[in-house]
Structure 1
Amino acid sequence: MFAGFQGLIEDPILLLAIVSTVVGAFLIVAIFNLLISRLEKRGDLKKGKLVHMRRFFQIIIYAAAGFIILSMLDVNITGLVAGLGVGALVIGFGLKDIIENWVSGVLIMSGKTYAIGDVIRVGDLTGTVTDIALRTTKLKTYDRNEIIIPNSVLMREKIINLTGGKQEAVASLTFVIDYTVDAEKAKSIIENILKNHKSVIFSAKKKREIRFIFRNREWTNEIEALFWVNDPPNEEFIKSNIAELIHKEFKRKNILPPVPALMRKEYMTGQKMDS
């Protein structure tokens, strides 16, 4: 190692190579920062992402430059790392998850999987993205809980982005009705309420239409309605209000929920059958 430093003093070419490596590292970082600044001005990246991306990239470039310089100085990097022994192994395992999360964070930020403000579904969790950092992503659920998810977990999970834009999201409601009820009549009621609801977007031109999925069961029929809402963070509250309106209209129009056959006549007439 000391021989390498001695060679540095005696060999001006080696000194020039090291200086060039340092200058090159600074130039690469400067070019990267310029690129990030342009992306920021274009609106492709948000400020929250920039700080973390710059920091991560600088660490990688400067670390690479450091290893190159040590190699020029004839420092046995492999022996140096091996000499750390068990300590290096422990540190390596400790840093594994951190590095994995950082890499995942950079991939998420550089891609367009989701952005701050989007409503996403990860497994059983659904919420609004409030922050994207290098190591974690924060979601706020509909019950106002904040969930912090490691980015490495997100990269392994199936992510469904429910947001069709900054202020749009796909929502769904499922209604279970008795098998004797006219399904078309039920769908007509659902569609009419959805089209006239202030929080539902309906535009055939923009392909924001109401669609239905019909499922026939043994004693019931299921009707799932898919529609667009204009306030993704409050989707659950909107769905709750719509469901209440539809159930009231169902009751008014005698759209029965699933009921046992012996009780069907009683339910429809509101009179008790003779025992």
Structure 2
Amino acid sequence: MTAEKKYPHTLQFLAKLVLWILLYVSFWYFQDFYKEHRFLDNASNALNLFLTASIIYSIGRYVMITLYNKRHENRAVRGNFVLGINRLTAVMNTSTAVISVMLAFGIDPREFVTSLTIVAMAIAVTFREYITNMLSGLFIMFNDQLSVGDRVKIGDYKGRIVDITFSSLLIQDEEDDIVLVPNNLVFTSPMVNFSAHRSSLFSVRFELPLQTAVEVDKLEGRIQKTLLNHPYLTGDDDLALKVVEIGKDYVKYKMEMHATSSSSKLHRQLENEILREVLLFKREYDSER
């Protein structure tokens, strides 16, 4: 966790701690005042409950994250443990806040929950999708199958994960649009994580008109000349074009190679160099016709 992200949490914890101490001091010095004002007494007790619970949650959060980071300090970790703990802490703080508001207005939370028992089944059915999405989100957060920053394909959606919430994955697609993919889709649709096992092998695919197939050897030679002794390639590949599919008026090609790094940025740079040669070849071919 960076210093920028830790700083707000530290300020929030200190603010809650100072307010909690001031509240307890007021209990000692203004007991009669609270007894005379029933609503303020309920409100102060409710605030005390929220602050006490929130401080305990914050301490527990800090201890768990510290122990987790200490345990994994010597190896790379892809999981979302810290993200999951932060989300779970937020949920517990919200739940405690709701209970505190009830107490401030003199409502017994136990009686309130009991009164909802009759409609609990209807509520569960109504919010079934959200509940299952939330459970799926928790499962994703506390395992290493997916992580923020991974490049994935889930069903028909492909892109980079920018955030994981209780309801959905936020995926930035190739058009830089943010797509909200329900968490349930991760477990009900085919899913590919391109970042799970980072590899230096990658492929470049493109499509050309069928009539250019007779001169594709020239394109292959140009690409090979461009990539010969390339500083970002291992030099272990023959760099031959492979036909993937032949359509009515097009041919799809693929070229596989090994880069010196598994960096997605480097792979895109090499892909752009190859596609630039493809465009030049297509332009020259069209101008000769």
Mapping of residues 38-117 of structure 1, within 5 Å: 38-39=70-71, 41-42=73-74, 45=77, 49-53=81-85, 56=88, 84-86=117-119, 88-117=120-149
Are the counterparts in 2 of residues 33 and 54 from structure 1 also a CA contact under 8 Å? no
The alpha carbon displacement at 1:36 in A equals 3.6
Query: In structure 1, what residue type is equivalent to 2:202?
Result: V
Are the counterparts in 1 of residues 79 and 143 from structure 2 also a CA contact under 8 Å? no
Task: Choose the corresponding residue for 1:163, options 184, 192, 195.
Answer: 195
Higher relative contact order (CA 8 A, sep 6+): 1
Mapping of residues 11-26 of structure 1, within 5 Å: none
Rounded to whole Å, the distance in 2 between the matches of 1:125 and 1:56 is 27
Higher alpha-carbon deviation: 37-46 or 150-159: 37-46
Q: Residue 186 of structure 1 corresponds to which residue in structure 2?
A: 219
Are the counterparts in 2 of residues 202 and 210 from structure 1 also a CA contact under 8 Å? no
Are the counterparts in 1 of residues 151 and 195 from structure 2 also a CA contact under 8 Å? yes
The alpha carbon displacement at 1:181 in A equals 1.0
The alpha carbon displacement at 1:145 in A equals 1.7
Give unpaired runs (5+ residues) of structure 1.
1-25, 61-79, 257-266, 271-275
Are the counterparts in 1 of residues 152 and 160 from structure 2 also a CA contact under 8 Å? yes
Q: 1:37 to 1:203 in 2, by over 3 A?
A: same
User: CA offsets, 1:131-157, max 9 Å, x none?
Assistant: 233432222223322222221122222
Rounded to whole Å, the distance in 1 between the matches of 2:255 and 2:85 is 41
> SS where residue 222 of structure 1 aligns?
strand
> SS where residue 114 of structure 1 aligns?
coil
1:33 aligns with 2:64: yes
The alpha carbon displacement at 1:109 in A equals 3.3
Rounded to whole Å, the distance in 1 between the matches of 2:140 and 2:178 is 20
Rounded to whole Å, the distance in 1 between the matches of 2:238 and 2:190 is 26
Q: 1:97 to 1:128 in 2, by over 3 A?
A: same
Rounded to whole Å, the distance in 2 between the matches of 1:153 and 1:203 is 40
How many residue pairs match? The answer is 207
> SS where residue 204 of structure 2 aligns?
strand
> SS where residue 181 of structure 1 aligns?
helix
Rounded to whole Å, the distance in 2 between the matches of 1:102 and 1:212 is 46
The alpha carbon displacement at 1:128 in A equals 1.6
CA RMSD, 1 decimal: 4.6
Q: 1:52 to 1:221 in 2, by over 3 A?
A: closer
Q: Residue 222 of structure 1 corresponds to which residue in structure 2?
A: 252
The alpha carbon displacement at 1:216 in A equals 4.4
Rounded to whole Å, the distance in 2 between the matches of 1:151 and 1:161 is 15
> SS where residue 281 of structure 2 aligns?
helix
Rounded to whole Å, the distance in 1 between the matches of 2:84 and 2:254 is 42
Q: 1:182 to 1:160 in 2, by over 3 A?
A: same
> SS where residue 163 of structure 1 aligns?
coil
Which protein is richer in helix relative to its size? 2
Q: 1:120 to 1:40 in 2, by over 3 A?
A: same
Rounded to whole Å, the distance in 2 between the matches of 1:138 and 1:44 is 23
Rounded to whole Å, the distance in 2 between the matches of 1:98 and 1:223 is 43
Give unpaired runs (5+ residues) of structure 2.
1-56, 93-112
Query: In structure 1, what residue type is equivalent to 2:179?
Result: I
Q: Residue 147 of structure 1 corresponds to which residue in structure 2?
A: 179
Q: Residue 18 of structure 1 corresponds to which residue in structure 2?
A: none
Q: 1:59 to 1:114 in 2, by over 3 A?
A: closer
Which protein is richer in strand relative to its size? 1
Q: Residue 110 of structure 2 corresponds to which residue in structure 1?
A: none
TM-score (structure 1 length as normaliser): 0.53
Task: Choose the corresponding residue for 2:275, options 240, 243, 246.
Answer: 243
Identity score, percent: 14
Query: In structure 2, what residue type is equivalent to 1:188?
Result: G
